[in-house]
Structure 1
Amino acid sequence: MKGSPLEPADRNWWRSAAIYQVYVRSFADGDGDGTGDLAGVRARLPYLVELGVDALWFTPWYLSPLADGGYDVADYRTIDPQFGTLAEAEKLIAEARELGIRTIVDIVPNHVSDQHPWFRAAVAAGPGSPERELFHFRAGRGRSGEIPPNDWVGEFGGTPWTRLPDGEWYLHLFAPEQPDLNWDHPAVRTEHEDVLRFWFDRGVAGVRIDSAVLPAKDPALPDFTPGTDPHPYVDRDDLHDIYRSWRAVADQYDGVFVGEVWLPDTERFVRYLRPDELHTAFNLSFLACPWDAERLRTSIDETLAEHAPVGAPATWVLCNHDVTRTVTRYGRADDTGFAFERKRFGTPTDLELGTRRARAAALLSLALPGTVYLYQGEELGLPEAEIPRELIQDPMHSRSGGTDPGRDGCRVPLPWAADAPYAGFGSTVEPWLPQPPGWAAYAADLQAADPDSMLSLYRAALALRRARPGFRSAGLTWLDAAPGVLAFERGEGLRCVVNLSAAPVRLPAHGAVLLASGPLTEGGRLPVDTAVWLSA
């Protein structure tokens, strides 16, 4: 299926786009070495056109030791050889654009790899050198400097400080292989603006900003006291000047930003969406909601309300490369939304229940006003995989002392063809992460031939979403509904009803059923854990 070339004048595409996240390492293997690559993505572009997405967001594909899945970048201007070459990336961007699909790349401003030339030079140069001013090096505390410089706790647990043989410590909020940059240094700012231009010059349409609230630090690096305002390294006011300078670069290219902004404070969150800063930010409260009508409605209302004053579109996300896959999360009795501490080995999961709810959640999220993000494999209904402990690569597992299985379970290579080796991932050798038994049952080729599959549901929903202008209208109007039922109307009389109650419910007055996540009852009622789109 051939898509349509993009119209350059469509500058507001990002306000209602469906964006598909590609974790390259696990998407498709084009050269048969067990690792996904750009050749594999290029070969699957027709599939993505058929799916009906507007853009692809690529997690980092740059040169990296892959200590943290590519979020430890050694060179932003080089593609990691496991994935391909810069020339291939340029071809992929151009080919996707010809098919009507834009490209978004990932930038990680908080840190780089310990193999980045800057950090290697800093280690070699020694204490007090100008090279170390690009990072956060400090002497330790205690009689011989044996105690870390402060009491912070890293994002992966444990102290975020590592001591070098010369006695100095360096800061890394994530893994030791990811030293934090010093954003008070002008060279750090200049380099990142140049990297933005580098990728915009190659045709990317936007940039996703990883851990967007973390780069700025209190220069004193003080101990952290809970409740301290401002926080020594989260959501500091200095960040807004950084993102204003980034926005000035993006505006030269009509480029778009989406920030990973984890903040519970609505007023602080919305500051990042002011007209001269980021265009959008991930709505992670919706992802974190359990399967509960009242809490989902509250999340939707609060999200729309906090975006309205700055005129930014909301974003809706059900899962990504960091969280438990949707069908697994919704199939657990202790479903309280997203939480790393609940990703335990052997947690009981009702996948039939989780799948039914995930199908309903798909129609809910796709019917909401704004931008929606899909994580690869979500359209196949893939469950979370339990990776044998000895094969886990995610540093979150080791940093937790082995109690947290980490994020590899949502990063297992995709199944494309049921009858092919390794479910058609493309490998002639064992993929970099093992596929669990029965993985081939989720293969895209099987689902494409099944009108009732998760893939067919997503294709139909995305086609309707694109074809009907009502889905691009602003806001929504809630309709009267029974307890445990979400019902709202969009433009042109489009209605979405989701039944999260304990019994089937009557549908509101309507002209036609456009799409349902599951069959209605014989009497035309909407079953439990089912969603439907209606026309007036």
Structure 2
Amino acid sequence: MRSFADVDADGVGDLDGLRDRLGYLELLGVDALVLAGIDPAAAGLTRFLSEARHAGFRVLAAADVDPARTDPQQALAPWLEHEIDGFHLAPREDPHGALADAVARIPEHVVIGSGEGPWQLDFNIDLPIAGFHAEAVQSAVTRVLAPGGRRPAWAMASRDTERSRNAAALTPVRAMALVQLALPGAVCLRHGEELGLPGNQRITMPWEGEHPPFGFSAAQVDWSTIPPEWAAFTAETQLEDEGSTLSLYRHAMEARAAHPAFRGEEIEWFGAPEGCFAFRRVGSTLICALNTSTAPVPLPPGEVLLSSRPLVDGQLPVGTAAWLV
């Protein structure tokens, strides 16, 4: 939130900035928000939660609860008094099970966690760790979706791309976005990810205009850390461009939420050329194909619903993913 939008012009993102941009998040297709770096006693939190829920968002709190140092139940209690919808827990050792016990006491809440524990969603960054190689990504997906595992929350949080924002840098970002959004489970997006921006989690969100800080804040401070070339990649610019990364995310998230093909919690793999894969959601008609090889490849049978780049003579180009139904 501290890097999302600044209303009081102190150079730091705030709740009012986040509230003012709820319409953008709704347009993007987001259905839940995770508040990070917020004190549950922060001024304006009650108002924000009320307006966010009225707009249809569930709100979770990012909680770094260390059961070596504090009582997890006491740490979560202030948020529960706000009737928060859930928590995104930072990875922590829980040798005595105190954190797991505290979470078990709130089964009606959505909890995203890592490692052992009674979480509803298992946060993972296996996709970015795998890199842009079909075989490695397939192995990662197979491992995460192994029988008996919890429902996954897929993230690309450690992904990085070149600051040049050239087409070569954006190609794997766009392709992996479709892979991520085609998989069963939840998807965790970091702000700016939908713009194809670099993977720094504290990135200052570029909203509009021609110069840094691109509408993030009216504060008169040094914004030299924000690349001037981001003027071409602001939310304002990309919303008007059907070929932009933001438009790709919007179309993909709309289809994921509304299209009947996005059913089923299991996938099955098809045979594919080397450097490629294709999987289908079991119980539906959705097929996701990825080409990380060195040449275009034929598409699986079906009607193309969306592709990360234009097809070439009906084939899937290098560095491209597509959805078919």
Task: Output the TM-score relative to the length of structure 1.
Answer: 0.57
- Give the drift of 1:420: 6.2
Q: Give the equivalent residue in structure 1 for 2:178.
A: 363
Structure with a larger share of its residues in strand: 2
Q: Give the equivalent residue in structure 1 for 2:53.
A: 97
Local SS of the residue matching 2:106: helix
Return 5+ residue gaps in structure 2 as ranges. Answer: none
Which 4+ runs in 1 deviate beyond 6 A? none
Residues 250 and 314 of structure 1: CA distance in aligned 2, closer, same or farther (over 3 Å): same
Q: Name which of 265, 268, 278 aligns with 1:474.
A: 265
Does 2:135 correspond to 1:255? no
Does 2:267 correspond to 1:290? no
Residues 94 and 432 of structure 1: CA distance in aligned 2, closer, same or farther (over 3 Å): farther
Local SS of the residue matching 1:356: helix
Q: Give the equivalent residue in structure 2 for 1:278.
A: 119
Residues 105 and 296 of structure 1: CA distance in aligned 2, closer, same or farther (over 3 Å): same
Residue 503 of structure 1 contacts residue 528 of structure 1 at CA under 8 Å; is this kept in 2? yes
Residue 212 of structure 2 contacts residue 223 of structure 2 at CA under 8 Å; is this kept in 1? no
Residue 315 of structure 1 contacts residue 372 of structure 1 at CA under 8 Å; is this kept in 2? yes
Residue 192 of structure 2 contacts residue 203 of structure 2 at CA under 8 Å; is this kept in 1? no
Deviations 1:307-354 (A, max 9, x none): x315x21121112xxx3x4333xx9xxxxxxxxxxxxxxxxx784322
Q: Give the equivalent residue in structure 2 for 1:353.
A: 168
Residue 422 of structure 1 contacts residue 431 of structure 1 at CA under 8 Å; is this kept in 2? no
Does 2:269 correspond to 1:488? no
Alpha-carbon distance in structure 2 between the residues aligned to 1:195 and 1:98: 26
Return 5+ residue gaps in structure 1 as ranges. Answer: 1-23, 63-76, 80-84, 111-180, 217-235, 262-268, 332-348, 385-408
Residue 109 of structure 1 contacts residue 210 of structure 1 at CA under 8 Å; is this kept in 2? yes
Q: Specify the code of the residue in structure 1 equivalent to 2:243.
A: D
Residue 105 of structure 1 contacts residue 208 of structure 1 at CA under 8 Å; is this kept in 2? yes
Q: Give the equivalent residue in structure 1 for 2:291.
A: 499
Q: Give the equivalent residue in structure 2 for 1:203.
A: 83
Alpha-carbon distance in structure 1 between the residues aligned to 2:226 and 2:15: 20
Does 2:152 correspond to 1:314? yes
Local SS of the residue matching 1:514: strand
Residue 360 of structure 1 contacts residue 529 of structure 1 at CA under 8 Å; is this kept in 2? yes
Local SS of the residue matching 2:304: strand
Q: Give the equivalent residue in structure 2 for 1:383.
A: 198
Q: Specify the code of the residue in structure 2 equivalent to 1:464.
A: A
Q: Name which of 32, 41, 60 aligns with 1:78.
A: 41
Residue 112 of structure 2 contacts residue 153 of structure 2 at CA under 8 Å; is this kept in 1? no
Report the identity percentage. Answer: 36
Q: How is 1:196-275 mapped onto 2 (pairs within 5 angstroms)?
A: 196-213=76-93, 216=94, 236=95, 238=96, 241-251=97-107, 254-259=108-113, 261=114, 269=115, 271-272=116-117
Residues paired across the two proteins, number: 324
Residue 94 of structure 1 contacts residue 203 of structure 1 at CA under 8 Å; is this kept in 2? no
Task: Output the TM-score relative to the length of structure 2.
Answer: 0.93
- Give the drift of 1:472: 3.6
Of structures 1 and 2, the larger Rg is shown by 1
Does 2:23 correspond to 1:46? yes
Deviations 1:472-497 (A, max 9, x none): 41111111211111101114211111
Q: Give the equivalent residue in structure 2 for 1:182.
A: 68
Residues 469 and 242 of structure 1: CA distance in aligned 2, closer, same or farther (over 3 Å): farther
Q: Specify the code of the residue in structure 2 equivalent to 1:318.
A: M
Please report the RMSD computed on the Cα atoms of aligned residues, expressed in angstroms. Answer: 2.1
Deviations 1:101-159 (A, max 9, x none): 1111111122xxxxxxxxxxxxxxxxxxxxxxxxxxxxxxxxxxxxxxxxxxxxxxxxx
